[in-house]
Amino acid sequence: MPSTPEVILNVNDNEPGRYATSRILHRAGFKVLEASNGKDALRIAREDLPPLVILDVNLPDISGVEVCRRLKAGADTSTIMVLQMSATNIAVADRVQSLAAGADSFLVEPVEPEELEAVTRALLRLYRSEESLRLALAERELLLKEVNHRVKNSLQLVLSLLSLQGQEFQQAGERELFERAIARVAAIASIHERLYQDTDPLSVEMHTYITGLCAELARACVDDAPDAKLLAEVENVRLPTEQGVSIALIVNELVMNALKHARPAKGSAVVSVRLVRHDNDALLLTVTDNGGSHGTEGDEGETQSGLGTRLIGMLAQQINGHLDVESSENARIARLVFPSQIIRPCQPPS
């Protein structure tokens, strides 16, 4: 028993009945607040947040069952325990109705003082144990938030370190290779941005992830291809985080290549990324550009595109996907079909 007495709100419009209950509770060492109607009961419950309300079913204004329903629906009052009591509405259907409306227990009046005290103590025990669980959960959430903060901060240190290292390279080719490495790390790192905003850390919403990634890639390539257009059309699907990271890395490789090498004969380069449902069991990723000098012999980025190609192949294998690339003078289309493990379709925010 805490050193300060537990507070109980006793609601009953019948004065002798209310007095009798309050007397029992006082004698048992509780502090008692009283209300004689539903409106006052709701007001006092919201103001004082007692752990327990003892609630008569028959009240002059709002029925006790409705008062209970409102308490359980209120953001602040939903954790309050409700003991419903009645001398008249005591048929099985009445008791069931009260409990269905959210009451935690029901007593038929008249009630023996010992029983009222015992039930009161049982409900207060339940309230305290629920309260400690709520606190533990809140602590866990704080811890998770903290861990996430650390992860993102560490990833920032990695990216900052790599960026500073990159400045040591004097030759343009070397520098570019290093920038590609940074972009790969960034594609992996950026998933953490999405995960924390989200309620579910085990899956990632692909639309924001891939469109965000494409925006970064477009920004990064401004020096190489200032007129290039990058279009992204990504369906609102949630995929398991691991699969999501693989897809992001594949998009990263294909788009970096396309932006680097797409040099159409006329006009500026246009690269488009699409991720859509292929059929019931599969998704289709396509990265299309409007032609250019991919994989030309003696290209200075040859080794690099070698690594890129191997990475794409390995990642496609990782997600059991099938990749084919069609190249012509006017277009190059990479198509990847992979078995989808869609968690659930995302609902548009209402």
Partner 1 sequence: MSAAILIVEDQLLIAWHLRELIEAAGHEVTAIATDTDEAIAAAGRRRPDFALMDIRLRGQSNGLDAARVLYETWGVRSIFLSANLDPQTREQALTLDALGFIGKPFLSTQMAAALERAVEETRGAQGD
Identified binder of partner 1 from the candidate list 7, 87, 126, 158, rule CB under 8 A: 158
Site for partner 1 in 179-198 (CB under 8 A): 182-183, 186, 189-190, 192-193, 196
Tell whether residue 140 is a contact of partner 1 (CB under 8 A). no
The answer to the question of residue 164 lying near partner 1 (CB under 8 A) is: yes
Per-residue tokens: 79: 């954790």
Phi-psi region of 336 (alpha: psi -120 to 50; beta: other; left: phi over 0): beta
H or E segment at 131?
A: helix 113-166
Site string for partner 1, 193-222 (x = CB under 8 A): x--x-------------------x--xx-x
Q: Does 153 participate in binding partner 1 (rule CB under 8 A)?
A: yes
Cβ distance 271 to 259 under 8 Å? yes
CA dist 188 and 222 (Å) reads 21
Print the SS3 string covering 40-74. HHHHHHHHHCCCEEEEECCCCCCCHHHHHHHHHHC
Binding string to partner 1 for residues 95 to 114, with x set by CB under 8 A, is what? --------------------
- Minimum distance from CB of 198 to partner 1 (Å)? 13
Candidate residues 148, 286, 309, 318; the one interacting with partner 1 per rule CB under 8 A: 148
Check binding of 177 to partner 1 (CB under 8 A): no
The closest of 244, 326, 310 to 283, measured between CA atoms, is: 244
- Contacts for 77 with CB less than 8 Å, ≥ 6 apart: 45, 46, 49, 70, 71
- Rounded distance between C-alpha atoms, residue 247 and residue 285, angstroms: 9
In the complex, what is the shortest distance from the CB of residue 350 to partner 1, in angstroms, rounded to a whole number?
18
Out of 39, 46, 121, 152, the only residue in the binding site for partner 1 (CB under 8 A) is 152
Footprint on this chain of partner 1 (rule: CB under 8 A) = 145, 148-149, 152-153, 155-161, 163-164, 167, 182-183, 186, 189-190, 192-193, 196, 216, 219-220, 222
